[in-house]
Copies of this chain bind each other. A is one copy, B any other.
Amino acid sequence: MSTIPESAQLGNHTVIEKDVTIGKNVVIGHHTIILQGTQIGDNVAIGCNCVLGIQPNTNQRMRKISQIDNPLVIESGTRIGHLVSIYSGAQIGKDVFIGDHASIRENVSIGEESVVGRAAIVELNTRIGKSCTIQTLAYVTGDTTLEDHVFIGPCVSMSNDKYMGAQSYSLKGPYIKKGAKIGNNASLLPGVSVGSNTIVGAGSVVTKNMEDNIVVAGIPAKQINS
C-alpha cells in the first residue's frame, strides 16, 4: 500500500495504487486515479477524473514499446487540471501547469514553470524546456525538442514520420530553439528546426530549417522580414 500523509486532501472515490509517493499538502480531486509507482511532490494540486502513471500499450502495427521502469514524477508546486492523462516515465518539473483534457506520454520531460494548455498533447520521448507555453489543442509530436521560452500557439500541428508509416521507423520531430514562437494552426514537418527567437506565422507550413531571428509565413513558409 501507499502511505498517504495526513496533509493530503483526497476527493471521493480516488484510487491510489501501490508504491505511490505523496508529498506534503497535496490535493487530489474526485475520481482521480494514481497508478502504481507515481511520485508526487509537495504542494501539487491535481483535478478530478485524471489518470496518472499510465504504462504504454500498443497493437502489432505500432512502434514497439517496452514496459517503462521509470515512474511518473511530478515535482513540487505543479498544478494539473481535470480529465488529464500522463504516462509513466514522464518528468514534470516544478510549478508547471497542465490544462484539462491534456495528455502527456512516456519519457517526456517538462521544465519548470512551463504551461501545457487545455487538450494539448505531448507525445513520447519529447523534451520541453523551462518557461515554455504550449497552447490549447496544440500537438507536440514524439522525438521533439523545445528549448526554453518557446511559445507554441493554439492548434499547432507537428509530425515526426516523413514516410507516413510506409517505411520502418526512423522518427524525428521538430527542434525548436530558445524563444521561438509558432503561430496558431501552423504545421511543422518532420525533423525541421526553427531558429532562436524566430516567429512562424499562423497557418504556415514549415518544410525546411529556419534561421534564428527571422519572421516566416506562408505555404511553404518563407522569410517575410527580420
Contacts and interface: CB of A to CB of B under 8 A. Distances in A.
Contacts of A103: 100-101, 118-119
B154 A59 contact: no
Given A15-B31, A139-B154, A184-B159, A79 B51 contact: no
Given A15-B30, A164-B151, A121 B95 contact: no
A113 B13 CA distance: 35
Contacts of A73: none
Interface in A37-77: 45, 47-49, 51, 54, 57-62, 77
Interface residues of A, number: 71
Chain A facing B: main interface SS: loop
Nearest to A101: B103
Interface in A176-217: 181, 183-185, 187, 189, 199, 201-205, 207
B57 A113 contact: no
A96 B13 CA distance: 30
A130 B204 CA distance: 33
A83 B62 CA distance: 20
A43 to B, nearest CB: 12
Contact of A62 (B78, B115, B158): B115
Interface of A: 11-13, 15, 29-31, 33, 45, 47-49, 51, 54, 57-62, 77-79, 81-83, 85, 95-97, 100-101, 103, 113, 115, 118-119, 121, 123, 131, 133, 135-137, 139, 141, 151, 153-155, 157-159, 164-166, 181, 183-185, 187, 189, 199, 201-205, 207, 218-219
